[in-house]
Structure 1
């Protein structure tokens, strides 16, 4: 099975929501069991909140900084970033062309669980 970043980018943005007023800039490309693959290409601001599964970001284009808790991680194409389930994180100061794959997997945290 193959997934194309260009095909996923053509699906964006999804309609605005209360949280993502400029439109939703992530789209699920694949899901199976507890694994899901999303394409994420935010514009302007990243409104993420902590997720209930571990997550890998595979940066395919653009540059910026990922804040995980109080630690800042600069990134560029080819970098892979890990965020544990429940961790507060957000992309900050990212370029207009920023895009990445996001892979979620593993058991889901229950409401109230702390990050591992």
Structure 2
């Protein structure tokens, strides 16, 4: 890294590494938060990280609530409120929800 530091390519590489480290650290912090606040009645199957050029960094959660009906909706709504109350999270968006096989399947975007 020292050899490249004095030129434009070296600065671009260093900026990219700093950017990656910043969002990797944020991602780890959010995952720790998820493990702390996610109730046992919610299962997360998949976590995707995405950022489009000049857009926000988005973490998508795909999962399900093990209860349907008003109880399941209440669990999901309370979870969304808890996520929204975390300082590291800028915005929480429920992208999709549907009922299948006695579970509520959901997709949530967490904007960092």
TM-score (norm 1): 0.36
TM-score (norm 2): 0.37
Higher strand share: 1
Q: Which has the higher contact order (CA 8 A, sep 6+)?
A: 1
Higher helix share: 2
